[in-house]
Amino acid sequence: MIKDIVVNLEHDVSRDRAREFAITVAEAFDAHLAGVAFAYEPDFPGYVMLEIPPDVVATMIEESKKAAEAAIRRFDEAARRSLLSAEHRLVRTVGIEAPTLFAAIARRFDLSTFLQSSPDGEANDDMIESALLESGRPVIVVPYIDKNGLKLDRVVCCWDGGRPAARAINDALPLLARAQKVDLLIIENNKTKNETTEICGVEMASHLARHDVKVEIEIIPAPDIGVADAILSHVADESGTLIVMGGYGHAKLREIILGGVTRDILKSMTVPAFMSH
């Protein structure tokens, strides 16, 4: 069961859709909702900081703090309108440390929520990737075009028999149990086609059915297109409303290295994606 959710609050009011989506999840599960906003300090190299007048640095810090406080006020007002149990946190840090700090906070929540990076330069990738790979908790990434909130009409679970996919499906069970229909999607190409995967699909479908999930197996041959494209094509063709999938990748020192399918879905997604690592 989902009992508490944390959402990344961004400064730009046009990026509040992750907050609105998180509220719909919290309403569905009567869950506690926490909003986290970051007030950033400049993280220029030391030799650059020496050249910047102190009053300019102070102005930059104050402007970021005011933007974070405004995001918190919008969050508090939205939570009050929805009559939710809610809290907010204002975290002061340099930008490079924010993803790691958020991942640490997310470990104490059932689910974290983010808005997808937008093509005009609003980048959220570091925050998403750190939470996915370092928090030990699932994340939902919301498309920057989303206006629907949580919809469970048709959930597409991506299944390849691997550990991250199994973890994602298990973590998503509270959502899957409420879904009107669940597709257990197996993408079959030269790399993935084998009898074991199909057998695992039957076994996983049986496991989900024992949890009262309304599941059907969908095996799609996709020899000539990438796995991410095949997933997104199926979602579009079948009017999918949520993707559930394993998040592949690893963290190496400060560098996050995502698997190709995970990276491509985060870039091109048109419906929310629930991911676990």
| Same domain flag for 110 and 170 | no
Q: Alpha helix locations (H) across 50-141?
A: 54-81, 98-106, 125-134
For residues 118 and 11, the model is more confident at 11
| Same domain flag for 14 and 138 | yes
Query: Which residue among 103, 120, 142 closes a domain?
Result: 142
| Same domain flag for 138 and 159 | no
Query: Which residue among 142, 170, 187 closes a domain?
Result: 142
Task: Name the percent of the chain lying above pLDDT 70.
Answer: 87
Please indicate, yes or no, if residue 184 is contained in any of the structural domains. yes
Query: Above 90 in pLDDT, residue 145?
Result: yes
Q: How many Å apart are CA 98 and CA 10, to the nearest integer?
A: 12
| Same domain flag for 159 and 129 | no
- The total domain count for the chain is 2
Q: What is the pTM of this model?
A: 0.91
User: Could you read off the pLDDT of 102-137 as tens digits, one per residue?
Assistant: 999 999 999 999 999 988 777 788 999 999 999 999
| Same domain flag for 8 and 115 | yes
CATH, residue 50: 3.40.50.620
| Same domain flag for 16 and 111 | yes
| Same domain flag for 221 and 164 | yes
Phi, psi (rounded to 5 degrees) for 143: -60, 145
- 170 CB-near residues (< 8 Å, 6+ apart): 276
Query: Above 50 in pLDDT, residue 253?
Result: no
| Lowest-confidence region among 53-57, 127-131, 236-240 | 53-57
Query: Above 80 in pLDDT, residue 54?
Result: no
Please indicate, yes or no, if residue 196 is contained in any of the structural domains. yes
User: Could you read off the pLDDT of 171-226 as tens digits, one per residue?
Assistant: 999 999 999 999 999 998 766 666 666 667 899 999 999 999 999 999 998 776 78
- Reference 88, options 73, 103, 110, 67; nearest CA is 73
Question: What are the Cα distances from residue 2, in Å, to 105, 135, 228, 233?
Answer: 16, 16, 28, 29
Please indicate, yes or no, if residue 53 is contained in any of the structural domains. yes
| Amino acid (one-letter) located at 132 | L
| Same domain flag for 170 and 88 | no
Query: Above 90 in pLDDT, residue 155?
Result: yes
Residue with tokens 């989902």: 2
Please indicate, yes or no, if residue 239 is contained in any of the structural domains. yes
| Same domain flag for 75 and 179 | no
pLDDT at position 254: 46
Output the average pLDDT for the chain.
90
pLDDT at position 180: 98
| Same domain flag for 174 and 114 | no
Helix axes 260-268, 125-134, angle to 10 degrees: 140
Query: With contact defined as beta carbons under 8 Å apart, do 258 and 143 qualify?
Result: no
User: Could you read off the pLDDT of 20-49 as tens digits, one per residue?
Assistant: 999 999 999 999 999 999 999 876 555 555
Residue with tokens 């030799």: 47
Query: Above 80 in pLDDT, residue 229?
Result: yes
By residue range, what is the domain housing residue 263? 155-276
Please indicate, yes or no, if residue 148 is contained in any of the structural domains. no
| Same domain flag for 191 and 114 | no
Instruction: Report the pLDDT averaged over residues 216-243.
Output: 91
Please indicate, yes or no, if residue 133 is contained in any of the structural domains. yes
Please indicate, yes or no, if residue 165 is contained in any of the structural domains. yes
Q: What's the pLDDT band for 100 if we cut at 50, 70, 90?
A: very high
Query: Above 80 in pLDDT, residue 64?
Result: yes
Instruction: Report the pLDDT averaged over residues 260-272.
Output: 92
pLDDT at position 170: 97
Query: Above 90 in pLDDT, residue 9?
Result: yes
| Same domain flag for 163 and 241 | yes
pLDDT at position 266: 92
pLDDT at position 88: 98
Query: Which residue among 115, 142, 169 closes a domain?
Result: 142
- Reference 174, options 12, 28, 48; nearest CA is 28
Please indicate, yes or no, if residue 263 is contained in any of the structural domains. yes
- Reference 187, options 152, 154, 157; nearest CA is 157
Q: How many CB atoms lie within 10 A of CB 216?
A: 10
- C-alpha Rg value of the chain to the nearest Å: 20
Q: End-to-end alpha-carbon separation of the chain, Å?
A: 19
Q: Is 90 helix (H, G, I), strand (E, B) or coil?
A: strand
